[in-house]
Amino acid sequence: MSYDFDLFVIGAGSGGVRAARFAASFGAKVAVAESRYLGGTCVNVGCVPKKLMVYAAQYQDEFNLSKSFGWDVEAKGFDWPTLISNKNTEIARLNGIYEKLLVNSGVELLNGHAKLIDAHTVEVNGQHYTAKNILVAVGGWPQVPDIPGREHVTDSNQVFFLKEQPKRVLVIGGGYIAVEFASVFQGLGSETQLAYRGDMFLRGFDNDVREHLHQELLKKDMTLRFNCDVQRIDKQDDQSLLITFTDGQSTEVDCIFYATGRRPMLDNLGLENVNITLDKRGYIAVDELYQTSENSILAIGDVTGRVQLTPVALAEGMAVARRLFRKEDYKPVNYDLIPTAVFSLPNIATVGLSEEQARAEGYTVQVFKSSFKPMKLSLSEQQERIFMKLVVDQTTDRVLGCHMVGPDAGELMQGIAIALKAGATKQIFDETIGIHPSAAEEFVTMRTQSA
């Protein structure tokens, strides 16, 4: 049987673009369909614009700090439309790069929503295309609970395009996107509150790390409401939003930003036409080769609900391209020790097990912790502290987890992740000569175990 394409990719996001480009470079005939924006969530409404906004939000502290080094800087204010417009220009540039990358690798790019018609057929803009293999890489979509006043909510697709900076903002959620945006708004000068229905945000991160960030955000005068859920949202005559919480308390803001999770983007995908099984949470179920229950259809990235990070989607895209078209180079993705960062202010970065996870897995652990004022703040009154922690297996001396809260934690943790991947022991950390003066050297000089 002959097909129009060897591979038809649905979704030109992180995973889809990577799979399409490399499959084409291995000689396959490839098409990719994209309904919204080239580069997907990460480039358009995720990692990239978020990080640009985090950079913008850091300036307030930097301007203040510069005085302690003798600078006489007057920050006359911050202009939200300038940031959004410059960000949009940069994203448009990246969209163009993605288009070039695809077209130059010989991928046929179809702009439009793709729907599965059968196990080998996809419909885009009314046209049917056949393919030997179909890769579903449609990503996720923000999820907002069904509460009265839901229509007044801003989600993570919309927050990057707000026309005005809200003077008062309430962020709802306890995941990394909620914490990051709370920091962005706070840093840019919005009066910021964060409400989360659990005891403490960032579930799954080391408890000391969560508590340290909690204290740092309080120092910045952010209002944090835990064990707190929204009951209803009412728009008032002056356009402000009145939020009533389930405990009867209320607050008034100009914007309520919901970061309460994401669902797989399966809308009108034509799943009823094929034999694809979903897992219990509603994500596309795949085996270790990203194979769905329909033989010719694979799925990668956020739509499979596993590790929802861009570098993971990229690695999965590459693995699929190699397995289908360059078997000799195929290597399964290694999901161990994936480092991750939360770009809150201050940043969190982590790799490996938290102390709680290590104990739950049965390890007898040694814990090393350090908290100190960064040298950069030593001439100022600023009270922010860096926190670092190592979790070590007492039996083998292997470092099981490494955690940091502090400036540039994400930059620093990438290198530590390599050491942990290589199986570094605490002794190797101790034998490593530090870079002085730096915050990072603390990771190789922690000698005293915490009780």
Ligand X SMILES: Cc1cc2nc3c(=O)[nH]c(=O)nc-3n(C[C@H](O)[C@H](O)[C@H](O)COP(=O)(O)OP(=O)(O)OC[C@H]3O[C@@H](n4cnc5c(N)ncnc54)[C@H](O)[C@@H]3O)c2cc1C
Angle at 378 between CA 372 and CA 381, to 5 degrees: 100
65, 177, 256, 286: which one binds ligand X (CB under 6 A): 177
Distance of closest approach, residue 301 Cβ to ligand X, in angstroms: 2
Per CB under 6 A, 166 contacts ligand X: no
Q: Take residue 177 and report the two structure tokens written for it.
A: 């996107």
Of the candidates 3, 391, 439, the residue with the CA atom closest to the CA atom of residue 205: 391
For ligand X, give the closer residue by CB, 171 or 309: 309
How far is Cα 45 from Cα 138, in angstroms, rounded to an integer? 14
Residue 407 within binding range of ligand X, rule CB under 6 A:
no
- For ligand X, the closer of residues 136 and 170 by Cβ is 136
CB of 103 to ligand X, least distance (A): 17
Contact between 286 and ligand X by CB under 6 A: the answer reads no
Buried b / exposed e over 411-434, threshold 16 CB at 10 Å, is: ebbeebbebbeeebebeebeeeee
Pick 113 or 232: Cβ nearer ligand X: 113
Element containing residue 40 per DSSP (H, E): helix 40-45
Binding segment for ligand X (CB under 6 A), chosen from 78-86, 276-284, 300-308, 442-450, is 300-308
Residue 186 Cβ vs ligand X, minimum distance, rounded to whole Å = 17
Quote the least distance from Cβ 267 to ligand X, whole Å.
Answer: 7
Q: Given the rule CB under 6 A, which of 135-143, 228-236, 250-258, 320-328 is the region that contacts ligand X?
A: 135-143
The residues in 19-78 that bind ligand X, with binding defined as CB under 6 A, are 33-37, 40-42, 46-47, 50
Nearby residues of 293 by Cβ (< 8 Å), 6 or more positions away: 275, 276, 277, 285
Ranges of H-type helices in 105-219 = 176-188, 207-219
Residue 54 amino acid letter: V
> Is 436 an active-site residue?
yes
Structure tokens at 446: 């922690």
Q: Of 315 and 358, which has the nearer Cβ to ligand X?
A: 315
Of residues 242 through 271, those in contact with ligand X by CB under 6 A are: 265, 269
Bridge partners of residue 171, in order along the sequence: 194, 257
**Radius of gyration of the chain measured on its C-alpha atoms:** 24
Q: What is the DSSP letter of 378?
A: T
Angle between helical axes of 310-325 and 14-25 (0-180°, round to 10)? 30
Indicate whether 320 belongs to the interface with ligand X (CB under 6 A).
Answer: no
311 touches ligand X (CB under 6 A): yes
Of 24, 28, 53, 137, the one binding ligand X (CB under 6 A) is 137
Residue 113 touches ligand X, criterion: CB under 6 A: yes
The one catalytic residue among 113, 152, 212, 436: 436
- Over the window 343 to 372, marking each residue x when it contacts ligand X by CB under 6 A and - when it does not, the resulting string is ------------------------------
Binder of ligand X out of 301, 346, 352, 401 (CB under 6 A): 301
Closest Cα to residue 401, out of 348, 347, 358, 445? 358
Indicate which single residue of 7, 9, 10, 321 sits in contact with ligand X (rule: CB under 6 A): 10
Which residues pair with residue 393 across a beta bridge?
Answer: 365
CA distance 297 to 287: 12
Q: Which two tokens stand for residue 266?
A: 């399966």
Query: Whose Cβ is closer to ligand X: residue 156's or residue 183's?
Result: 156
Dihedral over Cα of 99, 100, 102, 103: its sign: positive
User: Binding ligand X by CB under 6 A: which of 5, 6, 16, 258?
Assistant: 16
Number of residues that bind ligand X (CB under 6 A): 36
**What type of residue sits at position 206?**
D
Enter the DSSP assignment of 450: P
Catalytic residues: 436
Q: Under the rule (CB under 6 A), what is the footprint of ligand X?
A: 10-16, 33-37, 40-42, 46-47, 50, 113-114, 137-140, 156, 177, 265, 269, 301-303, 308-311, 313
